[in-house]
Structures are given as C-alpha cells and as structure tokens.
Amino acid sequence: MSDILFETVGRTGLVTLNRPKALNALTEPMMAALGEALDEWARDDRVERVAVRGDGPKAFCAGGDIRSVYERRAGSIDFFATEYRTNHRIATFPKPYVALIHGVCMGGGVGLSAHGPIRVANETLTFAMPETAIGLFPDVGATHLLSRMEDEAGMWLGLTGHRIKLAEAVAAGYVTHPVEGSLDAVLDRVAHARTLEPALDEMTVETDPMPAETRKVMAKAFGAPTLAAVMERLADMSADDEFAKVAFDEMALRSPTSMAVTFEQIRRAADLDPAGVLEMDFAIVSRILDGHDLYEGIRAVLIDKDNAPKWDPAEIDKVEKSAVAAHFVTGPHGRLGLGETKSAGGRGAVHAS
C-alpha cells in the first residue's frame, strides 16, 4: 500500500500519511505526490477544501526521513527541494487547508500543517522543532510562523527544540482549534459542513494560557540582540526560574552552529513571506549538507544512539559570523524558483556572537 493516500470525502480532498510504523516520516515520493494532488484539487470545483491527517495512534508526522538524509548526504538536496516546493503549494493553496493533528508533530509535520490556516489538534499532541539537536535548523518554512509568535515563543522553540503539549501549542499560536478526543468527528465536520469555520468553532475547547511570568522571562531572554546574550540572560535567571534553567540546559546540548544559524534565520524570517522563507531555508540547507554537524548529530541520535555528538565548533563563541553569513547566500543548487519574494536580506547584520 502507498505511503500516502488520497481520497475524496464529501466536500473534502483527504490526505492520509500512511507510514504509522515510521511515525509517518516523510519521503521524497510522498511530498511529490502531495504536491501533485494539491495542484489537481485546486482545479477541481468538486473539492471545496483539503484535510491532511496521519495514520496510526502515535503520530501525525514526526518529520522527514532523517536516516535517508544521512545515507544520501549531499544527494538529499532533491528531497529538501521537493519538500519545500510542496510546503509552498500549501502556503498558496487557494482553498481551505485543514491539518488534523494528533500525537507527535515535529519538523516536516510542522511544514505540512503550519502553512495552512486551520490547525486542529487534540490532547495527545506533542509539538517540537527539534532540529538544533541534530545539527540541522527549523526548516520547511516553519520560521514564517515562529518569527511571528508573541513574546519570542518562536525563538524559544526554534533554539531549544523544546517539546510542548496542546495548551502551550495554543498559547504559542501554532494550534488554531484545540479539541478533545478522537479527530474522526472533526473530519466528519470538515468533510460535510457547508460552512467550515463555524462548524469547527463549535468543537473547540478552552485551554490554559501560558503563565504571565513565563512569558515575561521568555520575552526577555529570547529577545536578546545576540545568541550569546540569550545564553547570558538565561544563565542569569536560571537560579530563580525553572523555565530559564530548562531552556539554558537544553541549549547547552545543541549544535552551536545550528543555533547561530537558527537565531539569524528567525530574525530574518520576520520580514519575509512564505516563499522568501523557503528560499532562505533552501540556501541554508545547501550549506548544512556540506557541513559536519548534521551528520554527527544524526549519528549520535539515530545511528549509534550514544547521544554524545561532537559539535564543530563545540562552543558558541567559536562560531564565526562569516560562517553564519555564508548560510544565507544562494548556494550551488541555486534557488527553488518560487516566484517573487521579499529580500532574504531581512535585518542585515548577522547576530551570531
């Protein structure tokens, strides 16, 4: 059976990610097929909206097939190009696009959902952009959303890779419609309701807000002008604040280069449209695939599983500004060709040190 399924249910084109044993991790053929389906459904007047879900009890989508990236090395650039182009199709899709999210949603799963206007999730959700833990960066255009989250929540999530549950995902601005229980009832509404938003609003439940003090600490620490200053502020607040301590400890384990690139990426993304963000991501990943930390991170987490990556460089103050800036220059693979975008020049100066 195919790794991705397409069918029409009522008024809706339904996408089902069908790799439950792999937590619905995305492959290049899956993303190519999704892009083609979206193009077809955009032209089909019988399809009023699109919904995407993941099969199995554990995950909506845990991300891209990282083992394949490790094996293909620089050759995996084709996977990223296909994925990013499909992310752009989602961002520009002319009909309502609904993500039905349960369980694990990370990395590429965020790319499948964050570019659509309606993100429904239940209490099983675990959300994260954990890429800095393996020497990557929050790609798939996700920083378009992360950079617009209030109180620097996106910078917190992007740098630390911290995993959050439903209430925090609502508070951060990722989940638009929190619900309880099975998503089958939600799918029924999506498939058959004449008016979509009111039907989903009826199913939405209240969730707890993020504590005001946590927001204050988060905004102060992650609003710092440089990555080094973020770490300094977290260190200063760690003795008296658990949120700051956890964030500092998480960042201490991440790839310094990945965090430096991510810091700059999120700052620039605030000035870009989705196409501009995805073009920026493609430039970054072209450089990352020729580097050291991504393969070392995958080795440590997924291959040898010793969870002891040896980053190069191993300290934030050893990451050179010129090395960070190089990630934002169009690489040997060129551009994705997503049309007119705002300049990736963004905020100008690199903030790595």
N-to-C CA span, the chain: 50
Three-state SS at 92:
coil
What local confidence, expressed as pLDDT, does residue 339 receive? 75
Helix (H) or strand (E) run with residue 297 in it = helix 293-298
The average pLDDT across 29-53 equals 98
Rounded Cα distance between 158 and 71, Å, is 25
User: What pLDDT is attached to residue 49?
Assistant: 98
Name the active-site residue from 139, 151, 281, 293.
139
Percent of the chain with pLDDT over 90: 95
Closest to 227 in 3D by CA, of 198, 259, 187 = 259
Non-local (6+) Cβ contacts of 242 within 8 A are none
CA distance 123 to 170: 11
Q: What is the dihedral of CA 278, 284, 288, 290, to 10 degrees?
A: 110
What was the pLDDT predicted at 341? Answer: 54
Paired residues of 61 in beta bridges: 105
Query: In this predicted model, what pLDDT tens digit does every residue of 127-151 receive, in sequence order?
Result: 999 999 999 999 999 999 999 999 9
CA-based diameter of the chain, in Å? 59
Residues contacting 322, CB < 8 A, separation 6+: none
In which band, very low, low, confident or very high, does the pLDDT at 340 lie, cut at 50, 70 and 90? low
Q: Which pLDDT score is estimated for 48?
A: 98
**Which strands form 126-128's sheet, in the order they lie side by side?**
59-61, 104-106, 126-128
Q: What is the pLDDT of residues 290-339, one digit of tens each?
A: 999 999 999 999 999 999 999 999 999 999 999 999 999 998 999 999 97
The answer to whether residue 131 is catalytic is yes
Which of 13, 64, 103, 291 is catalytic? The answer is 64
pLDDT bracket for residue 353 (50, 70, 90): very low
Flag whether pLDDT at 347 surpasses 90.
no
Q: Which of 63, 108, 141, 158 is catalytic?
A: 108
* The pLDDT of residue 1: 81
Active-site option among 28, 48, 83, 131: 131
Tell me whether residue 108 is one of the annotated catalytic residues.
yes
- pLDDT band at 342, cuts 50/70/90? low
Three-state SS at 168: helix
Angstrom distance (rounded) from CA 86 to CA 31: 6
Reply yes or no on whether 158 is catalytic: no
Residue 242 known to be catalytic: no
In sequence order, what are the beta bridge partners of 106? 128
348: pLDDT strictly greater than 70: no
Pairing of strands 97-101, 59-61: unpaired
Label residue 339 exposed, middle or buried (CB < 10 Å: 0-12, 13-18, 19+): exposed
Work out the angle between the directed axes of helices 227-238 and 242-252 (0-180°, nearest 10).
Answer: 130
> Do residues 118 and 177 lie in contact, with contact meaning Cβ atoms separated by under 8 Å?
yes
Domains along the chain?
4-201 (3.90.226.10), 212-326 (no CATH)
| Confidence tier at 168 by pLDDT (50, 70, 90) | very high
Over residues 111-126, mean pLDDT: 98
Q: What is the model's pTM?
A: 0.94
Tens digits of per-residue pLDDT, 211-229? 999 999 999 999 999 999 9
Q: What is the mean pLDDT of residues 335-349?
A: 60
* Token pair in block for residue 225: 């002008």
Residue 345 confidence (pLDDT) above 90? no
Determine phi and psi for 280, rounding to 5 degrees.
-60, -45
Q: Mean pLDDT, to the nearest integer, of 42-51?
A: 98
**Average pLDDT over all residues of the chain:** 95
Q: For position 16, what pLDDT does the model report?
A: 98
